[in-house]
Structure 1
Amino acid sequence: MAKYTYPLPLRWVDADSYGHVNNSRFLTYLEEARTRMFHDMLPADEAERRQHAFVVKQSVVDYQAPLVYREAPVDVDVWVVTCRGARLELGYAIRDADRTYAEAITKMAAYNLDTGSPRRISEAEAEFFARYTEA
């Protein structure tokens, strides 16, 4: 399976008083990696991007180990679990070479922000996602 991997730098503000990255920041990390993955696929024109958006329906995070603030980045792996119709499901791992800190799933819907309604995933989008689809 091909994964998209984003090396994410941690920020001091992400840590709580114990020096651990706050659990709410993990969702931000998923969003950051997903946004960077989608960057090459999304149209450059803002109006067209609104018509070819994706919205999050559900996120589930399985926290596996505390992530202590540090200078070194963590890797956020993203891959496609399901892509069909209007449905897109992504898998994630927040990790480094030694440990996985969290695994997650995000269920998304292809969405037209102008009409406020779901839309079908286009052929071009499906081809893009096929590069990152689980075997």
Structure 2
Amino acid sequence: MDVYGHVNNARFLTLYEEARVALMFTGAREHGLTSFEQGVVISRHEVDYLRPVDYTDAVRIELWLEEIRASRFVIGYELWSGDSVASRARSVCVPFDLANQRPRRLSGPERDFLAPWQA
């Protein structure tokens, strides 16, 4: 909570992260895909804060894929509070080989999993 009694702006990124993790880990695992668990890093976040959210407000996140490229994909989000959008954001995600500490390309199965989410 910030000094004004609203959800702190940094918490918005945590909520977006929770939605992204649900897609790439829980959702992907339900489709038999576990390779995202081997590493995905964020190279960029963009967040627009449209209105404050009170701590008592129920929120929901909608997400979609804006872009899928060979070595990155962009997730778009909206954070809803009640009947209105409180924030919009984008994350540039890069598949990453943790063992070798370097970016990698999306695999065919990863692209197939992400494709239906593309707007």
8 Å contact from structure 2 (residues 28, 34) kept in 1: no
Q: Which has the higher contact order (CA 8 A, sep 6+)?
A: 1
Residue 11 of structure 1 corresponds to which residue in structure 2? Answer: none
Are 2:98 and 1:110 equivalent residues in the alignment?
no
Q: Cα offset for 1:41?
A: 1.5
Q: When the two structures are superposed, what TM-score results if normalisation uses the length of structure 1?
A: 0.78
Return the letter of the residue paired with 1:26.
F
Query: Which consecutive segments of 4 or more residues in structure 1 shift more than 6 A?
Result: none
8 Å contact from structure 2 (residues 41, 94) kept in 1: yes
Please list every run of 5 or more consecutive structure 2 residues that lacks an aligned counterpart in the other structure. Answer: none
Give the fraction of aligned pairs with identical amino acids, expressed as a percent. Answer: 32
Q: 1:6-29 CA distances to partner (integer Å, 9 max, x unpaired)?
A: xxxxxxxxx223220000101101
Residue 80 of structure 1 corresponds to which residue in structure 2? Answer: 65
Quote the Cα distance in structure 2 between the aligned partners of 1:44 and 1:30.
Answer: 20
Quote the Cα distance in structure 2 between the aligned partners of 1:105 and 1:22.
Answer: 18
Residue 30 of structure 1 corresponds to which residue in structure 2? Answer: 16
> Of Structure 1 and Structure 2, which has the larger fraction of its residues in helix?
2
